[in-house]
């Protein structure tokens, strides 16, 4: 066995130590969740309170309602709203940001209005969205897309503004077209900041997914939670809140995995630069 380790360039026990490090990282990330889970479990055990049911009842409701029960339809509806609204916001945010960077006069003419719309709280637009689009899919998607648009758009614009002028001059000298410069020079250089904007937009989209389902809605997780609260079904209400937390956690994990894959060259360059220092 030792010869195989030596042939691979690894000392004996390296795999064991690597496993210990991974286990230590995992424990560092989940310890607080485990502690809170245990506190909630024992604190609520045997509780007769209508407003604070036992965690065991909530977990049972998670399975019977959201995994095998009728609430799966609410989950599917919310995820559809979230996905469509977030994709629209991402595409428009990057596209409009690139367009405004390319057209300086248009950027200067629209800048005050962009920041005005950015600071406008999206939840206050729910009545207007209901009036314009009615109850249904379109209203929810429009609200999610509108709210999630701004972090991506503004981060895209700021990231493009920060591109090294030497790179732009080099592309111009080499005869690269303006469109080619955007796709081959500017967008890759601004990618880290664009991805940061997309991550912020994801959190905003999840929030607006719920808010858009609170008022005058007939489906979705937000509708389920409000309906359960108004019906004094507090077990169902808590189970819906936990489902939202799970959605946010899974979405964030998937985004980080995609980010690490897309920006691996950026993190590698930073690591090399840090090592030189």
Residue linked to tokens 């939840």: 123
Mean pLDDT to the nearest integer, 101-116: 87
Q: Are 173 and 166 in contact (CB under 8 A)?
A: no
pLDDT-derived band at 1, boundaries 50, 70, 90: very low
pLDDT-derived band at 217, boundaries 50, 70, 90: confident
Interatomic CA distance for residues 160 and 229, integer angstroms = 46
Q: pLDDT tens digit string along 32-67? A: 888 888 988 888 888 788 888 899 999 999 999 998
pLDDT > 70: percent of the chain: 87
Provide the pLDDT for residue 185.
Answer: 86
Mean pLDDT of the chain: 85
Q: Are 81 and 141 in contact (CB under 8 A)?
A: yes
Provide the pLDDT for residue 13.
Answer: 54
pLDDT exceeds 60 at position 271: no
Interatomic CA distance for residues 82 and 248, integer angstroms = 11
Q: What is the reported pTM? A: 0.83
Q: Which two tokens stand for residue 82?
A: 């979230």
Mapped onto helix, strand or coil, the DSSP state of residue 13 is coil
Mapped onto helix, strand or coil, the DSSP state of residue 131 is helix
Q: pLDDT tens digit string along 183-211? A: 888 888 899 999 999 999 999 999 999 99
* Burial class for 168, CB neighbours closer than 10 Å (0-12, 13-18, 19+): middle
Mapped onto helix, strand or coil, the DSSP state of residue 183 is helix
Q: pLDDT tens digit string along 155-173? A: 999 999 888 888 888 888 8
Half-sphere exposure of 235 (CA within 13 A, CB side): 18
Provide the pLDDT for residue 6.
Answer: 46
Q: Are 235 and 61 in contact (CB under 8 A)?
A: yes
pLDDT-derived band at 266, boundaries 50, 70, 90: low
């Amino acid at each position: 066995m030792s010869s195989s380790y030596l042939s691979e360039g690894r000392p004996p026990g390296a795999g064991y130590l690597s496993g210990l490090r991974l286990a230590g990282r995992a424990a560092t990330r989940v310890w607080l969740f485990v502690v809170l889970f245990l506190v909630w479990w024992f604190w609520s055990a045997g509780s007769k309170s209508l407003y604070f049911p036992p965690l065991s009842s909530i977990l049972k409701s998670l399975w019977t309602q959201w995994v095998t029960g009728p609430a799966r339809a609410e989950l599917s509806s919310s995820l559809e709203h979230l996905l469509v609204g977030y994709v629209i916001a991402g595409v428009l945010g990057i596209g409009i940001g690139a367009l405004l960077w390319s057209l300086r006069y248009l950027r200067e003419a629209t800048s005050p209005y962009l920041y005005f719309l950015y600071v406008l709280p999206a939840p206050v637009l729910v009545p207007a969205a209901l009036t314009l689009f009615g109850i249904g899919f379109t209203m929810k998607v429009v609200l999610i897309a509108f709210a999630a648009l701004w972090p991506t758009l503004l981060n895209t614009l700021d990231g493009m503004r920060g591109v090294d002028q030497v790179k732009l001059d080099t592309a111009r000298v080499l005869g690269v077209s303006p469109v080619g410069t955007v796709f081959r020079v500017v967008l890759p250089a601004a990618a880290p900041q664009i991805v940061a904007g997309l991550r912020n937009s994801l959190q905003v989209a999840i929030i607006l997914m719920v808010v858009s389902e609170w008022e005058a809605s007939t489906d979705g997780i937000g509708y389920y939670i409000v309906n359960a609260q108004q019906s004094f079904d507090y077990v169902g209400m808590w189970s819906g809140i936990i489902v939202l937390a799970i959605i946010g956690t899974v979405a964030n994990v998937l985004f980080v995995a995609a980010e690490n894959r897309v920006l691996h060259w950026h993190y590698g360059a930073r690591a090399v630069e840090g090592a030189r220092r």
